[in-house]
Structure 1
Amino acid sequence: MKSYQSLSGAQNFLVEIQENQWSGEVHSTFERTINLVDGSGTLYTIAAAELDDAPNTIRVAGFFKEHIHLPLKTPAFVQNNQLMFEGVASIAVNEARKWQYPQIKFPAKEAYEQVLVRSQQVQNWLEEREIKGGYLLNDRQATTYEKMMHTMLWKESTILLEYLKNKQPFQAMTQLNRVIGLGPGLTPSGDDFLVGLALIFTTVEYPYHSLQQWLVNCRKTIKRRTNAISFSTLDWAIKGAARERIGEFLNELFYGEHDALLKQKMLAVLAIGSSSGGDILAGILAGIALTMTLLEI
């Protein structure tokens, strides 16, 4: 049995391992991540060292380079402060750095104009880049299907945003069914857009508590309409948490002063998945625009 060391991880997951309080099984495997599921159906992730920290995730050195074979439903459990796959591998967490998603505060009123300026700068940068799918599609070689999906994503999401702007939560919840699960991929574009939207609504001191509550009320609907992996990401966004690079981008967007650093943080988010990063950015920008409209800025 091979032994590995976790470099860092979500504080709650590390504590559960250190206190021998976790067990589950392999849910799904990918090139640089392995998802585990516990008895309650909650997803946890083992990620390659080069990835960033994320909720319910531990980053492990060397694990993926050796192509460890873990069939689906392989039992995983904790023993002696290590995550174990019996007879295959163990992951020690004693030296792992604990990570938590930062609390991101919505900017104060005097900063609204600056946030709008920086949001527009991000939009301009995105329009200059060739993006091959989802909400930000601008590839001249895009297929008819990709163009059709791009149009449909914006159509359904614009209707959703209009209901939210007009403070019609029940109509918005119905419209949500037309956005969740829309688009191809493991995490559909519609879901990723909603992740970005949720991360604006759940910032600390967000001025419209009703939109935060609307998200919570939609949780069961979201769970029914999408797959477990996409729901896990959305559920964390509803709780106000996401991958480290997304939090860094939001902090830079709200409080930074340097365009070069903002662009660097934007590109890091854009690199998530094939179109997920772009779709999340589209949701973030849409969330800011909606909020500023409601604030009559």
Structure 2
Amino acid sequence: MRTYQSLSGSQNFLSEIQNKSWKGEVHSTFNRTINIICDSGELYTIAAEELDNAPNTLRVTDFFDKRPQILVKTPVFSQKGQLMIGETAAIEIQSASEWHYPQIEFPKQYDYAKISKRIEQLNEWLIQLKNTGGYLLNKRQATTYEKMIHVMLWQESEQLLTYLKEKQLFQAMKQLNRVIGLGPGLTPSGDDFLVGLALIFTTVNYPYHSLRQWLINSRTELKKRTNIISYSALDWAIKGSARERIGLFLNELFYGENEGALKIKMLAVLAIGSTSGGDILTGMLAGIKLTLESSR
């Protein structure tokens, strides 16, 4: 059995490994991540060191470069401050730094004009980029199927946003079922859009409490209608947390002054997955736009 060193981890995951008899099993494996489902049904992730921090995630050095063969349903458990993966690997966490998603405060109303201008700049950059799927589709290179999904995503999401703006929350809950799970992929584009929307509604001092509560009330329905990997990201977004690069982008958008830094952080978000980054970004911008318009 080989021992690996961890670089950083979310505070709750490190605490679970250190202080409890934590048990689970491998749920799924990918090139740079391994997902673990614990006995409570919650999903945790071992990630390659080049990835950014995220909720329920432990970043580990060398693990994916010299990857041991790990099969789905391999037992995973904590033992004496280490995370054990069957009889194949032990991950040491003593040197891991704790990571917390930053508290992000929604801007005050006197800053709305500035935020609107920064969003206009983001939209100009997005038009220039060649995106290939989901909400940000380059139609010249798209297949007929991709174009059809693109139209459906926008139609269903725009209707959801209309209901939310008008505070027709019962209708919005019904419409949510037309967005969740929409689109291909492990995390469908509709789900990723909702992650972005949730991250705006759950910012600190968000001005419309009813929208935050609507999200919380939607968790049971969301869990029924998508897979556990996608739901895990949604659930964390509803709790106000996401990958590190998303938090850095939102803080830069709301409070930064450097146009170059904003573009770099936007591109970092767009680099998430195949289309997930663009879909999450679309949801965040839609949530901000809805909020600014509702204040008029």
Shared fold (TM-score, shorter chain, > 0.5): yes
User: Structure 1 stretch 264-273 or stretch 65-74: which is displaced more?
Assistant: 65-74
* 1:62-211 → structure 2 map (5 Å cutoff): 62-211=62-211
The one-letter amino acid paired with 1:99 is W
CA shift for structure 1 position 67: 2.1
Q: Write out the 4+ residue segments of structure 1 that deviate beyond 6 Å after TM superposition.
A: none
* 1:139-288 → structure 2 map (5 Å cutoff): 139-288=139-288
CA shift for structure 1 position 21: 3.3
User: Structure 1 stretch 15-24 or stretch 154-163: which is displaced more?
Assistant: 15-24
The one-letter amino acid paired with 1:145 is Y
The one-letter amino acid paired with 1:49 is E
CA-to-aligned-CA distance 1:157-201 (integer Å, 9 cap, x gap): 000000001110000000000000000000000000000000000
The one-letter amino acid paired with 2:191 is D
Q: Which runs of 5+ in 1 are unaligned?
A: none
Give distance in 1, aligned partners of 2:4 and 2:106.
39
Q: For 2:25, what is the secondary structure of its paired residue?
A: strand
Give distance in 2, aligned partners of 1:158 and 1:107.
24
Q: For 1:185, what is the secondary structure of its paired residue?
A: coil
CA shift for structure 1 position 139: 4.2
Q: For 2:218, what is the secondary structure of its paired residue?
A: helix
Q: For 1:69, what is the secondary structure of its paired residue?
A: coil
Give distance in 2, aligned partners of 1:269 and 1:20.
34
The one-letter amino acid paired with 1:10 is S
Contact kept? 1:20, 1:81, Cα under 8 Å:
no
Would you say 1:295 and 2:273 are equivalent positions?
Answer: no
CA shift for structure 1 position 270: 0.1
CA-to-aligned-CA distance 1:224-271 (integer Å, 9 cap, x gap): 000000000000000000000000000000000010000000000000
Contact kept? 1:6, 1:93, Cα under 8 Å:
yes
Q: For 2:66, what is the secondary structure of its paired residue?
A: coil
- Match for residue 57 of structure 2? 57
CA-to-aligned-CA distance 1:10-48 (integer Å, 9 cap, x gap): 001001111143111000100000000111110000000
Give distance in 1, aligned partners of 2:275 and 2:120.
20
Contact kept? 1:127, 1:138, Cα under 8 Å:
no
User: Structure 1 stretch 133-142 or stretch 35-44: which is displaced more?
Assistant: 133-142
Give distance in 2, aligned partners of 1:95 and 1:171.
49
- Match for residue 9 of structure 1? 9
TM-score (norm 2): 0.99
CA-to-aligned-CA distance 1:191-233 (integer Å, 9 cap, x gap): 0000000000000000001000000010011000000000000
Give distance in 2, aligned partners of 1:230 and 1:85.
24
Give distance in 1, aligned partners of 2:110 and 2:141.
43
Contact kept? 1:105, 1:203, Cα under 8 Å:
yes
The one-letter amino acid paired with 2:26 is V
The one-letter amino acid paired with 1:70 is I
Identity %: 66
Give distance in 2, aligned partners of 1:169 and 1:230.
23
Give distance in 2, aligned partners of 1:160 and 1:141.
28
